[in-house]
Amino acid sequence: MDGTTHPPGLPIGVQRRFSRVIASPHIAAQIKEFDEKGFLVIPGLLPTRFIERLTQEVDHWVDSGLRQQSIDACLRPDRCPVPETVELEMAAHGELVTFPPVLELLEDENLLGPTFVFHHLHSDRRPSGAPGKPWHHDYEQRPQRHRRLPMVHVLHYVQGLRPGMGALAVLPGSHHEVAEKDARSHLGTSVLPGEVLITELPPGSTVVLHSALFHTRRAEDVSGAEGSQRYMIDASYCRTGEPWPPVKPYWRRILAAGRERRPGRGRWVELFEERHFSAYEPDGAGRAG
């Protein structure tokens, strides 16, 4: 025994690798600056075999029509049934949401602290030439009133990012504003003063955003990324302390699927508890992608 605490459920060698990644001076500096800047980037966090399994599941999620079913069930819950499978019921996706290195990172007081709850999961594969998404943030509060409790979006770029593939631009510090999600949408995907552009990441990289941070996805340049597809899995978590509004009408089923995973052998006991949520409100809520 080396006296080191290791994340449960991972081989010791893999645990040590992740410990080195998270504890590197560059990552440690980003963690300390998270409250100020609102984002951090962890290149190559996910192991190769995990990337392969996640890629296969994203392909199944999109190609089988399950992703579209989940969108329809959110946008038209009165007419469309709940999808036969939710993301958390796919093995690798469930493991990703409870991935110990990520949960241990979120425990840092600079991010969420020791007690937080899973909020939602989105999984997608975007083809070459897909359009961008205007400047927005994803902090769930209706109406937007304060930023007392942090919420984060953990963006896993399963196959990485390459130039021309659809860059992520973030506006450091904008998470301190109390603004509606679409307050900058009139700007489209235009370049803003002070933005940070993320265009290239190796497979299995992770970007953690404070959910109130304004960001945009630039349109993909087909000439620069011919034949490439942009895989991203977005898992969201929030500090407990007041009820959070759910975004999917079948949110209880999702949390139940999470509880079945028994994450961390009892370490993260609040991760999928329903009591941290308010009632589902369909207006402005159901977004599945």
Interval 139-173: pLDDT, tens: 999 999 999 999 999 999 999 999 878 899 999 99
Q: Residue 250 in contact with residue 76, Cβ under 8 Å?
A: no
Tell me the average pLDDT across 218-238.
81
Mean pLDDT of 239-267: 89
The predicted pLDDT at position 287 comes to 45
Residue 263 pLDDT greater than 70, yes or no: no
Contact predicate 70/86, CB 8 Å: yes
Q: Strand 133-136 vs strand 215-217: parallel, antiparallel, or unpaired? A: antiparallel
At 62-83, the pLDDT tens digits run: 999 999 999 999 999 888 888 8
Q: pLDDT category, 127, cuts 50, 70, 90?
A: confident
Nearest to 233 by CA among 50, 106, 31: 50
- Other CB atoms within 10 A of residue 179 CB: 15
